[in-house]
Amino acid sequence: MNWQELEKRIESDIIPGRTRILKANGKERRLVTFNTGRKIGMRTGVNTYQTKAITYEMVRDAFNTIEVRGRFDATDFRRSFDKEYRDGPCRFSMTGGILVELGVADLVSTETSQRCYYIPKQTKAQ
């Protein structure tokens, strides 16, 4: 899959009010509140209506990093989007979560869920 194909899937498959994006702990999900074709908004928690947004550019950067390095972690995200990370560290897992939702990446989370990273989707042996 290339970026143009993935971008089309983001536009069609990430549906506000319906799609829920996997959080870093690998258990809970965030509700998508908007998808403008440039930005995607999600609720920050279960009991709040507060939202944070990520950009398609962030998703493209994560996708390219996984394609080239075979892994995407918070250090990679901060390298390209330091201000946005400092404003809301959850943006890292929101970005990776989009790739998981679309079947492009798998989440690898530590036992304590304090750290996670994303790798290319592992295909199952047939």
CA torsion sign for 45, 75, 124, 5 is: positive
Look at residues 29, 116, 108, 104 and name the one whose alpha carbon lies nearest to residue 73.
Answer: 116
CA distance 79 to 102: 24
The confidence band for 21, taking pLDDT boundaries of 50, 70 and 90, is: very high
* CB-based contact 56:14 (threshold 8 Å): no
* pLDDT (mean) for 111-118: 79
Q: What is the pTM of this model?
A: 0.92
Q: Tell me what pLDDT residue 110 has.
A: 75
Phi/psi at 49 (nearest 5 deg)?
A: -100, 5
- Upper half-sphere CA count for residue 44 (Cβ side, 13 Å): 12
The span from the CA of 19 to the CA of 37, in Å, is 15
Q: Where are the domains of the chain?
A: 3-120
What is the tens place of the pLDDT at every residue in 71-85?
999 999 999 999 999
Answer with the residue of higher pLDDT: 43 or 45.
43
pLDDT tier at 112 (50, 70, 90 boundaries)?
Answer: low
Cα separation, 43 vs 53, in Å, equals: 9
Q: Do residues 40 and 34 make contact, with C-beta atoms less than 8 angstroms apart?
A: yes
